[in-house]
Amino acid sequence: MAATPSEIQKNLDSLYQAFTSNFTVLYGPVRELKRIMFKRIFGTGSSGGTNTAGEKLPTKPYSSTPIYVSPRSLRNAPSKFKVGKRGTPIKSLFFPGGYAQLKQGTSAKLPLELTGKLKGGFLSEEVITEGLEAAIALPGSESGKVDGLEAKYGTIFLPTKEEQEAMLEEHAILLAEQITNAMNKS
């Protein structure tokens, strides 16, 4: 038996009340958007990430293949890299951690992934869900890094047009499904 208009209205009102406290048809797509943005920003495997405009970011970790380096070729190197235990000049330095280890000990210019705090913070920070709204957030402790990176590389931590369209499409499908189910409920 088909539902009457008043029953349909009652079901839709009930659905709206449920949405105001737990709008899961939005929360899921926003979490998926965050996952997609994470892959775009930080890259996967050995490929680097991109900013919102699609330009490459320095997200590739440095090589960890062991290397030998002449101390004379190192700028900003601490004196322990230039003089041995007996006070004699060092001719060659060995870095078992490769260029990544060398870069950590000698320079301030490092990739986005140096400590992993920005990457880990983006990944672990929960999506903010309140009523009919959802938002992707980063820990407050990483806001300075975000500001500095975006000043240097352009907008990074906003979705691209394609990412946003995909999220809205998924949201619309889930929303239409929920409304249809509420209207067909008898």
Q: What is the domain partition of the chain in residue ranges? A: 5-59+111-184, 62-110
Whether residue 59 is predicted with pLDDT greater than 70 in this model: the reply is: no
Q: 77-121, pLDDT tens digit by residue?
A: 666 666 777 878 777 778 788 877 777 766 544 445 545 788 889
CB count within 10 Å of CB 34 equals: 21
pTM above 0.75, yes or no: no
Q: Tell which wins on pLDDT, 124 or 48.
A: 124
Average pLDDT of every residue of the chain: 83
